[in-house]
Amino acid sequence: MARWKPNGRERLVVAALELFAEQGYDNTTVAQIAERAELTRSTFFRHFSDKREILSAGQETLSRLLVEGIDSAPADATPLTAVAAGLDAVSGAMTEFNRELGPRLHAAIEANDELRTRDAMKSIGLAAAIVEALRRRGVAEATAQVAAELGMLAFRTGFSRWSSPSDDNAPGKLITHTRAAFSELRAATAELR
């Protein structure tokens, strides 16, 4: 029997994304993913309920970090300042592993209608977590919705810039890119008046 190797969950994600790129999402099986990761099918199912779940791995963690960041903002913080605190919390937790997976994850999602739908649902779920955290702070529904959407757009934009292999400005920490994107969006909203 092979010697145990650490980071089974990460290895499964990497193996799945490699196989999705090589042979397509629909043609990739759980057995192939487990084999590529040098793990068993039962180990795969300890981490994920199916292969679709690989692409939304970490959503609960992202939601939790966003909410914790918003909750930790000063009581008198504006809704956008509270969202910025949530973005800082989630961006600060991202590692080089996340950065390296970004382009492969994006390619896998863009190549499959089902995965694009799932990714949209993930964004909706994250925005809903932000809205709920803001409502607990007494923010009106419409204001919370707008702040959440701006936050999600800033996160997607910052992550895309950070993980883009062709972006000369990508090195550094995700938090830098997310803050810059959020600042740009805040300035853009001022022009909407």
Same domain assignment for residues 111 and 60:
yes
DSSP structural state of residue 21:
H
Whole-angstrom distance, CA of residue 126 vs CA of residue 60? 9
pLDDT for 3 equals: 47
| Domain shared by 49 and 60, yes or no | no
Same-domain status, 26 and 105: no
Domain residues for the domain of 110 are 56-190
Quick: pLDDT tens for 66-78.
999 999 999 999 9
> pLDDT tens digit string along 1-44?
344 566 888 899 999 988 988 888 899 999 999 999 999 999 99
Quick check: is 3 in a domain? no
Nearest to 36 by CA among 15, 17, 56, 63: 15
**d(C-alpha 182, C-alpha 47), whole Å:** 33
**Residues 178 and 86 both lie in one domain:** yes
Question: DSSP string covering 138-174, please?
Answer: T--HHHHHHHHHHHHHHHHHHHHHHH-TT-TT--S-H
Q: Of 42, 86, 54, give the one whose Cα is nearest residue 68.
A: 86
